[in-house]
Structure 1
Amino acid sequence: MKSFIPNRAMLHTHSFGVEHSASSSQSTEATVTIDDEVVRISAMFVKPRYNNEARNSTDINSKPGDTAIVYSCELAEIKGKFDPGKAQALGLERGPKYRELQLGNSVKTVAGRMVRADC
């Protein structure tokens, strides 16, 4: 899966899951908020680390602005569009081998050259 957050998504934000206050103990694990065959969105609370005597972030009086929520958006891999002209230029003839390439499988040309689907 590839991960990215497009700029246009930043304009349309909304909250998921349970509310947490800045003073409550918060998990460092990501909470999956949406998970289906197209996208997985996870949220994670992030707090600053302090270099003093405090053993953890709950020992320090933190302000609500000290906590951030990071969202991770993972998309399923999107296969490219099949280009019959490129397949023909690589030495493949129309037929079942085109279908195999469209399914993501590598095929051999009549001349014995291996053609990968990601070419």
Structure 2
Amino acid sequence: MGGEPAGFVIGYRRPADPSCLFIWQVAVDARFRGLGLAGRMLDDLLHDRTITPAVRTLQTTITDDNVASQQTFRSLARRWNDAPVTVAPLFESAHLMHPSDAAHHEPERLYEIGPPM
């Protein structure tokens, strides 16, 4: 924005299903938060007609305590023709830490959005 990097999205197409876009990370610089940039970047990826096949399903993982990300992806689903959102367990805390690590890591839930209705 204004010539300054404001954010990024990291993701990939699932090799077994190239119509599924897995989003690994979305980040927006603190100076630019609250402007809807995360949603706009995701919208651009979903609706990029230069890439085939078109995205039919989007997946990401989100921890239970990351309300901002949950809201970002649920809002995306609403904009994407009220696409259904399913949430399923993926990684529990024990899967995400080394046995010698005392730090707790929240479980990661798999969010799947689509296909659009």
Higher strand share: 2
Indicate the structure with greater helix content. 2
TM (norm. structure 1) is 0.24
